[in-house]
Chains A and B, each alone.
Chain A
Amino acid sequence: MITFESLLETLKTGSGFWNPIIWIIVIAVAFLLVYVIRSLGKKEYKEKTGQTQSFLSGNPEYEKEDMHVKGSNVYWGFTEALKSVYGVLRKIHTGNASDYVLWFVVVMGILLIIVGVI
């Protein structure tokens, strides 16, 4: 039988604890504060006027498809910095079924050594 008290129980992790209900109350208070601060802001914003148009330092606006930052553009710097790591990882992922079997054999070989068969 599930009791109300059991729903509110704190999760003990041995060295710490976690109670999502308390966390949600804290987040709700934070949102309330944000809302109060936001309501103190200026109210002159007008929809469908020049205020809502994109400003690209005076340059003309491109077609929408050209302006969209594509998925492969995101984290370009990160992937560029880890080029060598990606080089190795890409080489491993050959897409060849016989290589898949090879990795299986390699792991099996290591395990055979560990348990003392070989």
Chain B
Amino acid sequence: MNWLETLTLHSPALIVAIPLMGAFLTPIISKINDKVRNVFAISVIALTGFFVLLLAQNVFANGPTTYIFGDKNLTLPVVRILFEVDSISIFMAIISVTLAFVALIYSWTFVKENDGLDKYYTLILLLVASMLGMELTGDVFNFFVFLEISCITSCALIAFYIHKGESLEAAFKYIVISSIGALFILFAIGLFYAQYDALNMATIANAIQFGFLDKIALVLLISALAMKAGLAPMHMWLLDSYGEAPASITFILVGATQASLYGALRICFTIYGNAFANIMPSVSSATIEWFIIALAIVTILIGVIMALIQTDFKRLIAYVAVAEIGYIFLGIGVGLTSLGVGYGNIALNGGVFHIFNDALDIGLLFLVAGAVYYATKETSLDKMGGLARNMKYTAVFFIIGLLAVSGMPPFNGFASKLLIYESTYQLNPILAIIAILASILLLAVFVKVFYSVFMGVELPKFKDVKEVPRSMLVAMGIIVTIIIIFGLFPNLVINNIVQPAADALVNHSIYISKVLPGGI
């Protein structure tokens, strides 16, 4: 075995261990000086990214891989931790590590003037470790532990502007909601353990009978993870958190939210995949699927309609982020109703592709909002105007972000939304029409924002406003480049990473048989 194969073999552990170790070293490195600390944090994430790509290459080429912490020959899987990485796990890990890398570049100057930056970088690295842990683990209790780390670190980062009452309030609401959600998840895990004597996802998926306790566990897990993912009407915490956290943190929080969404997918498709397909009465499974679609439509409508009346820049984008979550759930819901049918698979591809596109597009808009705040110290749309004269690059980035998020060709949002629209139309034309109209309304929302922030007369108070520093422009530029590449070559992305990720969700038996040869 050469050194590259050895690194690939241990990459599941290293992907979590490197940011974790980096987090603990950051306070010490901070003692040297700020620049060294910033370079260190970026290097840690870059190294993690390298291992993610190494593992991705292996998983896409050879299928799921497992990594066992503990005795490999132990026959009881309950007392050891197992990471199982398939295409959907690594797809999510690529998103998380991309967001973290860009956020750290952006943070270089964005938070420069603030105090407590050693804690800021430590918490970011811990948050990244927890997100990656949630995405790579094959153990439900381990998932819960990483979820808890993610909740605590996110809460502290949301309260970064500690002098602002609103930030503290948002952080408080976040920890209340997260703790309650996490407790229900822990209760569901207890139900699994009591019944099957197992915490391993594949083992539970193989043994699940969909009895009374399994039904309760399903409801607890789905509702808690859907709340953490921001599905309406449980989306309200997201508006506070996204709106009040610093833009760089909101950018990573989009990834943390999607890690919870990944958890919901893993529960539905892998743990309960067999129950949905073979055990559950078709009436019950159809009702759940239609309930998800209904919530997705409600989420889209609430997000878009409420965004139209917002006057706070970041809160408006937070509402749009809610609507985008709705589009993801719509694709997944339509996919669930019609698995195996042509348009069902296309819907699932669209939903999975939109997870990445949502992170990029919404993330870019948050970065632009942060740039505007950095330059003007203003978040109210009513108090801004004419900024395109002095912030040309930021204005161009915003145009690209707004077109992408509104699903305008040729940007990435169009490709994924097209897949969702066309497949939804095959299921029910009215749902597709609502989704398209909401997307048009989304464009109208951003025309308003673009006009009130960047166009109009040059306001005297913003005469001396300058373009944001280079590190922030570079961070936004990276995201814009990815958006354009994804938009121009959608097939390349779908064939290489989206389709394998969607297939991994559908073919749950491959995931199970990797741990339990001969299972299912």
Residues of chain A touching chain B, judged by Cβ–Cβ distance below 8 Å, are 2, 6-7, 9-11, 13-16, 18, 20-21, 23-24, 64-65, 67-72, 74-75, 78-79, 82, 85-86, 89, 92-93, 95, 97, 99-101, 103-104, 106-108, 110-112, 114-117
Contact = CB atoms under 8 A, between A and B. Distances in A.
Contacts of A18: 409, 414-415, 418, 490
A59 to B, nearest CB: 16
Given A74-B448, A106-B233, A112-B216, A13 B346 contact: yes
Nearest to B287: A114
Contacts of B425: 15
A71 B453 CA distance: 8
A110 B308 contact: no
B233 A9 contact: no
Nearest to A98: B176
Contacts of A69: 451-452, 456
Contacts of A20: 409-410, 415, 487-490
A16 to B, nearest CB: 6
A71 B452 contact: yes
Interface string B478-519: 000000000111111011100000000000000000000000
Nearest to A63: B460
Interface of chain B, helix or strand or loop or mixed? Answer: helix
A111 B219 contact: yes
Q: Is the interface of A mostly helix, strand, loop or mixed?
A: helix
A24 B488 CA distance: 9
Nearest to A2: B492
B449 interface: yes
Interface string B379-390: 011101110000
Given A23-B409, A92-B233, A71 B449 contact: yes
B215 A6 contact: no
Interface of B: 172-173, 176-177, 180-181, 184, 212, 215-216, 218-220, 222-224, 226-227, 233-234, 236-237, 239-240, 284, 287-288, 291, 295, 302, 305-306, 308-309, 311, 342-343, 346, 380-382, 384-386, 409-410, 414-415, 418-419, 422-423, 425-426, 444, 448-449, 451-453, 456-461, 487-492, 494-496
Contacts of A97: 172-173, 176-177, 237
Nearest to B451: A74
A56 B342 CA distance: 59
A106 B298 CA distance: 15
A68 B414 CA distance: 33
Contacts of B222: 111
A100 B215 contact: no
A73 to B, nearest CB: 8
A86 B305 CA distance: 8
B427 to A, nearest CB: 12
A75 B449 CA distance: 11
Contact of B223 (A14, A16, A99, A107): A107
Contacts of B496: 2
8 contacts: A14-B342, A24-B488, A69-B452, A100-B176, A100-B234, A101-B180, A108-B220, A115-B215
A96 B292 CA distance: 25
Given A18-B415, A65-B459, A71 B177 contact: no
Given A23-B410, A24-B410, A100 B236 contact: yes
Given A16-B418, A117-B219, A11 B382 contact: no
A82 B305 contact: yes
A94 B486 CA distance: 38
Nearest to A74: B448
Given A18-B490, A21-B488, A101 B305 contact: no
Contact of A100 (B177, B380, B386, B418): B177
B250 to A, nearest CB: 18
Contact of A14 (B305, B422, B456, B491): B422
Q: List the 7 closest pairs (A to B, CB-CB), nearest first.
A: A71-B381, A71-B452, A20-B410, A9-B491, A70-B382, A108-B223, A74-B448
A14 to B, nearest CB: 5
A71 B173 contact: no
Given A71-B382, A71-B449, A78 B308 contact: yes
Nearest to B386: A68
B223 A111 contact: yes
Contacts of A107: 223, 226-227, 233-234, 295
Contacts of B459: 64-65, 68
Contacts of B487: 20
B418 A13 contact: yes
A41 B403 CA distance: 30
B346 A116 contact: no
A79 B237 contact: no
Contacts of A79: 308-309
B180 A104 contact: yes
B234 A70 contact: no
B308 A75 contact: yes
A61 B191 CA distance: 72
Nearest to B220: A108
B489 A7 contact: yes
A95 B410 contact: no
Contacts of B451: 69, 71, 74
A6 to B, nearest CB: 6
Of B184, B461, B488, most A-chain CB atoms within 10 Å: B488
Contact of B456 (A9, A68, A86, A112): A68
Nearest to A79: B309
A108 B217 CA distance: 11
A106 B227 CA distance: 12
A117 B288 contact: no
